Amino acid sequence: MKHSEVKNRIIETASFLFYKNGYNSTGINEIISEAGIAKATLYNHFKSKEEICLAYLKFKNSSFIQDVEDFTTSKPKGKAQVLAIFDFLELFFRDKDFNGCWCIKTVSEIPKDNEIIRAEIQLQKHSFIDLISKLITNNLENVKEAQVKSLARQIYLLYEGAVGESHLHQEDWPIKETKQLCSQIIS
């Protein structure tokens, strides 16, 4: 196996396990045995478990941003493209591997003073808010420039609430209610 392939395999395996079972509950031994690699190989690619955690967050986020962009742009222009993020979430929720937001999960597990992980997570969330901002300016003509930031944040908050609560309750009414609410505020 190529060098970069091994690294990807580690990231994918660790991501699957971290997301499914939690960061603290997933041991290095579990990762290597699942990935079918040796421990020294893992530590040849990552200098610590925390470094794998960062790679996990980045991996999840880049897939997510890509998927959301693809999904929304496949919808007809206008309000529909904005509301599409909730339809995307509905699909995400129905997936058997759905386990809520990886950022919230990770923040809940790491010590409060871990600035490195926290900074990465805040960065990711801001990139998502930026995506929503772009969706707004591209699709909602009647929204003034000065309102975009606030509106993007509100939609973001609705989305995040829906992710967490649909996961907690294991039901999809949080998605439906927030989509309904979003529809109200963009009309």
Binding residues vs a second copy (CB under 8 A)? 20-22, 24-25, 99-100, 103-105, 107-109, 111-112, 121-122, 125, 150, 153-154, 156-158, 160-162, 164-165, 167-169, 173-174, 177-178, 180-181, 184-185
Q: Is the CB of 37 or the CB of 121 nearer to DNA?
A: 37
Q: How many CB atoms lie within 10 A of CB 16?
A: 16
Q: Is the CB of 39 or the CB of 149 nearer to DNA?
A: 39
Judged by CB under 7 A, the stretch of 41-49, 59-67, 68-76, 137-145 that binds DNA is: 41-49
- Picked from DNA, a second copy, none, the partner binding residue 34 (CB below 5 to 8 A depending on kind) is none
Whole-angstrom Cα Rg for the chain: 18
Single out the residue of 20, 36, 168, 173 in contact with DNA (rule: CB under 7 A). 36
Single out the residue of 14, 15, 17, 26 in contact with DNA (rule: CB under 7 A). 26
CA distance 39 to 31: 9
Q: Is the CB of 39 or the CB of 169 nearer to a second copy?
A: 169
Structure tokens at 65: 């941003």
Q: Is the CB of 48 or the CB of 66 nearer to DNA?
A: 48
3-state secondary structure of 2: coil
Strands (E), 96-139: none
Provide, rounded to whole angstroms, the least separation between the CB of residue 77 and a second copy: 25
Is the Cβ–Cβ distance between 103 and 125 less than 8 Å? yes
CA distance 57 to 135: 23
CA distance 123 to 118: 9
